């Protein structure tokens, strides 16, 4: 699959953009584990043009994580254009526009998935950004605002006509948020449109080898994007890439998994500071499959998620690892 000049190979599996998750450390680890392309956290166009430090930090890309997309969101064409130009100077491989974020503070203000209720403005933003930069521009969106307005088949063609180089579709409406099951049949309908020619990336509920195989073989997408299933589980990319290629993946050992978790903790601290770095990593620790099935784990889990220093956290992890490995 190619996005403009970027060759991602056959059946690429990508890391989805996720706020407070896909920092540069996690992106790099996922890339090393097999992700074909990675996406930054959401970048607010308004905050970017105001030069907010926490936002501009999101533009930092490590050489080893490429190809990398920086994703921006906003609700006004002129602001999005200015932000896109700033992003282009940061040197990503492509710029992605977020028309899919369902959270109230984004969609409720007319950005992200909120633009599914104002398609003319969505298209105006897309055309303006495409025309303003030389980098490839892509879009990530949802099926529609709610069950009664699944407009994605028509919308996909309209976005293509604006000049985007690829489209990612999350198989839920905005009203669903992250509940229910992703509707891959409707994603497949986008691909079945003979007038739709650009690469289609499917997103939603990809957690297993079988789901990856179905995405490519049954629903016909060109690429797959993995989001929540990767949180705390970066090794999932090696497993899913093997499945996409029809191979049996090598099991990731317990020691390897612990090493990756410890690395994430250290790098999170290095990127920010000890206190905030540990706060940031708690979401990964809470979600990881590494601790599933451990008997009488509740008290240890609480202690782990309350730890406020690296020394405290390392001691708890040593205890857990020793218990598992005997």
- Can 101 be counted among the known catalytic residues? yes
Contact 202, 223 (CB under 8 A): yes
Active-site hit among 83, 101, 225, 278: 101
First CA to last CA across the chain, in angstroms? 45
- Residues annotated catalytic, as ranges: 101
């Amino acid at each position: 699959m190619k996005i403009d000049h970027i060759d991602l190979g056959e059946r690429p599996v990508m890391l989805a953009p996720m706020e407070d998750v896909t920092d540069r450390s996690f992106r790099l680890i996922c890339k090393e584990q097999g992700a074909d392309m990675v996406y930054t956290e959401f970048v607010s166009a308004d905050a970017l043009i105001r030069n907010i430090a926490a936002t501009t930090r999101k533009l930092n890309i490590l050489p080893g994580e490429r190809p990398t997309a920086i994703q921006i969101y906003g609700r006004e064409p002129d602001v999005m254009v200015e932000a896109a130009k700033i992003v282009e100077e940061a040197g990503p491989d492509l710029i992605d526009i977020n028309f899919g974020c369902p959270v109230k503070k984004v969609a409720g203000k007319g950005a992200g998935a909120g633009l599914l209720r104002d398609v003319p403005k969505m298209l105006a933003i897309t055309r303006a950004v495409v025309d303003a930069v030389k980098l490839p521009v892509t879009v990530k969106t949802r099926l529609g605002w709610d069950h009664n307005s699944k407009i994605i088949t028509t919308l996909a063609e309209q976005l293509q006509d604006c000049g985007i180089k690829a489209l990612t579709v999350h198989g839920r409406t905005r009203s669903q948020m992250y509940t229910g099951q992703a509707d891959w049949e409707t994603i497949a309908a986008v691909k079945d449109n003979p007038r739709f020619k650009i690469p289609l990336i499917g997103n939603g509920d990809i957690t297993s080898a079988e789901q990856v195989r179905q995405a490519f073989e049954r629903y016909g997408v060109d690429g797959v994007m993995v989001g929540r299933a990767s949180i705390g589980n970066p090794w999932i990319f090696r497993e899913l890439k093997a499945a996409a290629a029809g191979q049996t993946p090598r099991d990731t050992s317990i020691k390897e998994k612990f090493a990756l978790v410890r690395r994430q903790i250290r790098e999170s601290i290095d990127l920010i500071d000890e206190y905030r770095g540990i706060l940031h990593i708690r979401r990964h620790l809470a979600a990881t499959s590494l601790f599933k099935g451990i008997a009488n784990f509740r008290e240890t889990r609480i202690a782990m998620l309350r730890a406020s220093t690296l020394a405290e956290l390392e001691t708890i992890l040593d205890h857990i690892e020793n218990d598992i490995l005997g």
